Chain A
Amino acid sequence: MIIERRWKKWVYFYIPMTVFVIGTLFPFYWMFITAIRPDAELYRSWRAANNAPFWTFHPTLEHVRDLLEKTSFPYWIWNTFFIAVVSTMVSLFCGLLAGYALARLKFPMAGTLGTSIFVTYLVPPTLLFIPLADIIRSFQLGDTPWALILTYPTFLIPFCTWLLLGYFKTIAKELEECARIDGATRFGAMIRIIFPIAVPGILSAGIFAFTLSWNEFIYALVFLSSPEKKTVPVGVVSELIRGDIYFWGQLMAGALLGSVPVALVYSFFVEYSVTGLTGSVKG
């Protein structure tokens, strides 16, 4: 039995973990405290007497109410959710098939193709939005959610493919071969054997694709114009930043409420997500 000294546990585990947890959660705390802080406190100097920058004595839901009643925030949440879910499902479907093919099938240039797919993920949206705008115009999809559902897979499919490609490679080929000896087709083996084992990887890719869609800004800014059709990142910035004045209370309330769905998705699938990222398959 190894006996560790208590101070070592503190120095190497508890203290670093505490710092990390505080660093990670502080932005959310700051969003929360700013969202419920009255304007009079938001504009109080840090040097003022009795100033309490890290908490408030007069919490208010005024900013949340203003956000929900005076802006189109409920529409933005629904638009963002719909677009993120559909584009994630489309990308996941394509990524699954492409990832499986690249990991399992032998065909010329498979390796190069895998790398090329990943390289396309690296092309910044700030360059891509111009030619994509041309395509959206040709299909007459401007100012509809389908403009984003069509464009988000351009970066989500490479991302999902690359993540799943790596995951499929960690699954032993023998499992699939056994199924095929027992009479399964390749497709059947893929659906019945490989995909169930790959659930952590699939969920992990799905969670990240959902988050990327949820937070995307530039395409949503360029392709959507009607106020009630906007997504949360664009709507909040458009309506609550006016010239050089930021409506901090409502902005933070919007950021906080906007991050709730993503946080819920993560909390439900956190174990799968970790397994998916580390690529470990339990035999």
Chain B
Amino acid sequence: MRRRAFLKLTGTAGIVAAHRAPAFAQGTRLHIVRWVDFIPACDVELKKQAGEASKALGADVQFEFINANDLQPRITAAIQSQSGADIIHMLHNWPHLYENGLVDVSDLAEWQAKEQGGFYPQSEAYTKVNGRFMALPHSIVPGLVAYRKSWFDEIGVTTFPKTYDDLRTVGAKLKKKGHPYGQTLGHTFGDAPAWAYPLLWNFGGAETDRSGKTAIESKGSAEAVKFMTAFWKDACDEGGLAWDDTNNNRAFLAGEICATLNGASIYIAAKRGQDKIKDERGEPLVRDIQHARLPAGPAGSWSYHTAFAHGVMKYSKNPKLAKDFLKWFHGTGPFGRWFEVAEGFSVGATKQWERHALWNSIDPPMKGFRTAPDNSRTMGFAGPPSAKATEVYSKYVIVDMLAKGVQGASPEEAVRWAAGELRKIYGA
């Protein structure tokens, strides 16, 4: 036996005998910043996993949880000062924004996709920048329409409307009975764009063409504004212009609206507080909640679901440890345990998780979340989800285009305004 082969063999044997990976320098700390999960038990599970990972990797793994809205200031400060957490949670297409501050994790992405059945398109598009994965896709929080089954039944509608026109008709009837549809058109990061973008796409509109040039001035865009204006007047709670992401949750749980586009948080909050949150008959509200996909428009039935990933920061002094941790953390064991705790609120970034046993035992209204991510487009469509697409998203141009229509501008005026704003960003 050669010397190298001997060393390799005995080294591996030692590791196996010790039941742990080789330790990094003593006291090495790995700091991971994530959003505060909607489900507290998920964060508890991660803290537990931090202990396991510390043992497995021979380093001190620590999670820090902060509000989702505060992630970007932290990332900006970290990159500018070249210090901070080793791994940071990335939402949407942030890897495109922070490309220069992130480590290439293509090797890990290749491994994860191969092991877990391939990524959903939006997870791949949001993390793959110029052919390289700059963050490792982790999960997706899908958005479906939560609605009050009994109120729809009362007007003879036993399944959720399949088209936007049907939704308008049904919504108008429910509004007359004092149960309007709840939708925000405010400047709020989740629910407003998740409604506005699909509406634009489903009526045939698009922000840009495939080459990334502004393409909003189209018949489809004008039709989307026209629908929104009529839908707002006929079916919606008209106070929604000022709502943020929390208002529709509160309004739904308070029995003020018949339906709203949201993650599973409404259902899970109602389930968790079923002894306190009741419907008008005094029954737990959770029993009257059902979920459905967004209806279809003339051009399809696309949705926007929020993708999450983990980025290894380039300034990290422990990039190898960070990548080793991600390989452990995104592996089927630890991820599977977290996925089970999430109860369908978060789903995997890869298709394997559609086949997980959780879906057999989960409450029937939650089953729709299993395959929800399969119809998601990305911001910037039909162009790439570039940093400019994020600027459009952050400035709420698409949301405001619809809001302008609702506030009295003609569809053509609203679209012309949006085109002007997009040209300022895209330059053409």
On A, residues with C-beta under 8 Å from B are 38-40, 43-48, 126, 129-131, 133-134, 136-137, 142, 218, 221-222, 225-227, 237-239, 241-246
Contacts and interface: CB of A to CB of B under 8 A. Distances in A.
B77 A129 contact: yes
Contact of A238 (B65, B246, B254, B280): B65
Given A130-B81, A134-B81, A242 B254 contact: no
5 contacts: A44-B254, A45-B256, A126-B73, A222-B77, A244-B262
A22 B165 CA distance: 47
A221 B65 CA distance: 11
Nearest to A40: B276
Contacts of A241: 36, 67
Nearest to A135: B81
A-B complex: 9 closest residue pairs judged by Cβ atoms? A243-B38, A133-B81, A137-B83, A244-B245, A40-B276, A45-B254, A133-B77, A134-B81, A130-B80
Contact of B265 (A46, A137, A243): A243
Given A43-B273, A221-B70, A245-B269, 5 more contacts: A129-B73, A225-B33, A227-B64, A238-B66, A244-B265
A71 to B, nearest CB: 11
Contacts of B82: 134, 137
Contact of B191 (A43, A48, A130, A244): A244
Contact of B38 (A39, A40, A238, A244): A244
Chain B's interface: helix, strand, loop or mixed, by majority?
Answer: mixed
Contacts of B77: 129-130, 133, 222
A136 B67 CA distance: 22
Interface string B4-24: 000000000000000000000
Contacts of B276: 38-40, 43
Nearest to A133: B81
B76 interface: yes
Chain B interface bracket (under 10, 10 to 19, 20 to 34, 35 or more)? 35 or more
Given A43-B276, A133-B83, A245 B265 contact: yes
B246 A246 contact: yes
Interface string B128-160: 000000000000010000000000000000000
Contacts of B141: 243
Interface string B51-79: 00000000000001111101001101110
A39 B254 contact: no
B31 interface: yes
Contacts of B322: none
B333 interface: no
A46 B80 CA distance: 47
B73 A221 contact: yes
B278 interface: yes
A248 B335 CA distance: 31
A237 B64 CA distance: 14
B245 to A, nearest CB: 4
B250 A137 contact: no
A239 B81 contact: no
Nearest to A239: B36
A40 B278 contact: yes
B249 A134 contact: no
B190 interface: yes
Nearest to A237: B67
A38 B238 CA distance: 28
A271 B301 CA distance: 65
A142 B38 CA distance: 27
B365 to A, nearest CB: 18
A6 to B, nearest CB: 42
